[in-house]
A and B are shown apart, each in its own frame.
Chain A
Amino acid sequence: MTVKFERKTAQLGAGTLDYYVGGETGTDEEGNARLPLVMLHGATGHLETEVHQLLAEGRRIYLPITPGHDETPHVSGVDSIEALAALVAEFIGAELGGRCDLLGYSLGGWQACWIAVNHPEVVELLVLAGCAGFRPDDKGGMPADPAELLHQLYAHPENLPEDTRSAAAKQANVANLDHYNLREPLDQPLVDRLGDIQSLTLILHGTLEQIIPIETCRILSQAIPNQYLVYLYDAAHGLHVDQPERFHEVVREFLNRGVGFIVNQGTKSAAE
């Protein structure tokens, strides 16, 4: 069944935050309600893909839109990645009951790290996919040429859903990075604090990734105390688009079973 993601606006102390929400809250093996999943988008903005539908089976998903992206207004005083993280943390507190599992893709991963560092009380499990903000020596980065950018974003662009956004709107999303000063390849203050992350963390990296260098994985895996690094085979930067089923399988198992996701449970019939 197709999950319909509804667009809403949250009224927060600092201002408003637009978001999409969809999926029904499911329960874990012990009958407890699953925490909601907050997914933070990348620099090009929110685009609903197959993986959103897959993850929304048995889980409530929230998709905040970075203020200034997708023609949403900026929030006064929110002009840095830390301020952005604080805004989302407030959103989790006000709208989601105070705690969630958090998945950040690319720019969203960078944001998610700051949330986990500065607001650990709102994050249970953390997933960082193609995480931006940790590119030493300016390695990687988005190429200026549009064709090359598309090539580096997706190994399988045929998986992209129809995108009704105009080219200007997508360019405006990328330009919005300047509002938060997000052009720096390496966020050293955040690197210095990665050790404060308390959440069990899953780091995902495509085997064909070029925009985010392998050094990012080294930085994250060496600094975050409790983490797992998993490579998604045959995936570029847009790894959830290139390999939605693999992405979904590893994320779902991580969210459902935590550290137990490393154990192969076999087929359902065998487990029974």
Chain B
Amino acid sequence: MRFNYFHLMPYDVFPEKTEQWPVDNGAFDAETARQLYNEYIDTMVFAEECGWDSIGCNEHHFSPYGLMSNCNLIGSALIQRTSRVKIAMFGNLVPLLNPIRVAEEYAMLDVISGGRLMCGFMRGIPHEYIAYGIPPDESRPRLAEATELIRKAWTEPAPFGWEGEFYKFRAVSLWPKPMQKPHPPILYSGSNPDSARTAARNRAMLGMVFIPNLEAGRAVIEAYLDEAHKCGWEPGPEHILCGFHTCIAETDEAAREHLERGVKYFMQVLMAPQREAQQIVVQKSRYFGSDGAGEFFLHRLNHAGSRTIEGAIEDGTVICGSPETAVKQIKRIHAELGCGWINTNMKVGNIPNQAVRRGMELFRDHVQPEVRDLSKSTGAMPVMAMAGE
């Protein structure tokens, strides 16, 4: 089993409960943010020492939910202070961005890191489309076209042009190209069967978060595996990453207490502003198809805060407890989902950074040694070349 140490980099001293998005930035304090950035980066670097296989972050806009409008900048800082771990950019919100710029920045990170990059090609969550003025209806076709274009930019041996639906470039030639050949592993988010199938069609890793229960997660993975089979390839556990809020403490009670407080802040303060914006986008656009994914998303959005930590533990959708408990939970996740990667988000809401670091030490000393050998087939990193690459 491999583990990704994921960080949202929240502005965790935001005091207000607001439901307005974009969030008023009058309360933003640059010195506080500077301290947070440095503390978070220190923590992520510490994850290498604690045995995580990769460290990563992602892109969000216009709220204290996350301080990374460009996660590649954080990735570059992480590369300079680590030597072994993969750098997991999970990732850039590709449909919002210039795909050539994405290709270039990812290639730079891969070269600077000596081939340690894992690339998220994220569609993003609905309200991000407001931030960059991109029509949500175009999210899927933009992601599809941009994916092909970026792969082409990474693999073409000579200058080329591109005449597409959303993107037109008459002369492209990347300097640098990625170090990994044909290119770094690509991950698509896929928390419903439809998006999981899209990941399979693109020969991408599947990244799944916020599943309501393990049974629903298994259904998503099966959709991914079935579609991949139809497309002529067979993903292994190393292609499947499942994400969980993770809180490890000396005792089950202490872990639950930390996580309960962190989730409350996460849901009531950090998530609240974007919840309404997301509902507007989902209801007023065709961001989701007509297969019920929109309803599923809204249901999950509106009920996420109502679940108790005990219920989430019972459902297997969080990792929370003493090291002994965490080991059992990870083994259960592995047995029921068959994933080869677990994405741990330990800085949930405003859980104190000291508690996060203590949990990482416990993971290093007592958890990771017990679960390291699950999914022994994960010896190799995923290679997911399309035909012709």
Contact = CB atoms under 8 A, between A and B. Distances in A.
Interface of A: 207, 214, 218, 221-222, 228-234, 243, 246-247, 249-250, 261-264
A65 B262 CA distance: 74
Contact of A233 (B158, B165, B171): B165
Contact of B163 (A249, A263, A264): A249
B171 A228 contact: yes
Given A214-B388, A222-B158, A233-B145, A228 B170 contact: yes
A234 B159 contact: no
A230 B160 contact: yes
Of the listed residues B157, B167, B170, the one surrounded by the most CB atoms of chain A closer than 10 A to its CB is: B170
Contacts of A218: 157-158
Nearest to A250: B163
B148 A229 contact: no
A230 B170 contact: yes
Contacts of A234: 145, 164-165
A247 B168 CA distance: 12
B159 A246 contact: no
Contacts of B157: 218
B233 interface: no
Nearest to B160: A229
B164 A233 contact: yes
Nearest to B157: A218
A237 B171 CA distance: 22
Interface in B148-167: 148-149, 152, 157-165, 167
Interface string B355-389: 00000000000000000000000000000000010
Nearest to A246: B163
B77 to A, nearest CB: 34
Leading 9 A-B pairs by shortest Cβ distance: A230-B161, A233-B164, A262-B170, A246-B163, A229-B160, A250-B163, A262-B171, A232-B163, A214-B388
A207 B159 CA distance: 15
B164 A229 contact: no
Contacts of B164: 232-234, 246
6 contacts: A207-B152, A230-B163, A233-B145, A233-B164, A234-B164, A246-B165
Interface string B128-158: 0000000000000000010011001000011
Contact of B159 (A229, A249, A261, A263): A229
Q: What size tier do the contact residues of chain B reach?
A: 10 to 19
Q: Among A214, A228, A232, A233, which residue has the most Cβ atoms of chain B within 10 A?
A: A233
A231 B153 CA distance: 11
Nearest to B161: A230
Contact of A231 (B158, B163, B165, B171): B163
Contacts of B160: 229-231
A231 B170 contact: no
Contacts of B161: 228-231, 250, 262
A231 B388 contact: no
B172 to A, nearest CB: 10
Given A231-B163, A233-B149, A249-B163, 18 more contacts: A207-B152, A222-B158, A228-B170, A229-B160, A230-B162, A231-B161, A232-B164, A233-B145, A233-B163, A233-B165, A233-B167, A246-B163, A247-B163, A250-B161, A250-B163, A250-B170, A262-B170, A263-B170
Nearest to B389: A214
Contacts of A246: 163-165
B95 to A, nearest CB: 15
A221 B168 CA distance: 20
Nearest to B158: A221
Contact of B170 (A214, A221, A222, A261): A261
Nearest to A251: B163
A243 B163 CA distance: 10
Contacts of A231: 152, 160-163
A207 B170 contact: no
The listed residue with most A CB atoms (<10 A of its CB), out of B149, B152, B163, is B163
B290 to A, nearest CB: 21
Contacts of A229: 158-161
Contacts of B165: 233-234, 246
B371 to A, nearest CB: 42
Contacts of A228: 159, 161, 170-171
Q: Most chain-B Cβ atoms within 10 A of its Cβ — which of A231, A232, A243, A263? A: A231
Contacts of B158: 218, 221-222, 229
B252 to A, nearest CB: 53
Contacts of A214: 388
B144 to A, nearest CB: 9
A264 B167 CA distance: 12
A72 B145 CA distance: 42
A214 B160 CA distance: 12
A218 B388 CA distance: 12
Given A222-B158, A249-B163, A250-B163, A233 B388 contact: no
Interface string B309-326: 000000000000000000
A254 to B, nearest CB: 9
Nearest to A229: B160
Report which residue of B157, B160, B161, B162 has the largest number of chain A beta carbons within 10 angstroms of its beta carbon: B161
Nearest to A215: B388
Contacts of B159: 228-229
A181 B106 CA distance: 48
A229 B164 CA distance: 14
A250 B169 CA distance: 10
Interface string B38-75: 00000000000000000000000000000000000000
B336 to A, nearest CB: 38
A234 B148 CA distance: 10
Interface string B159-193: 11111110110110000000000000000000000
A262 B165 CA distance: 17
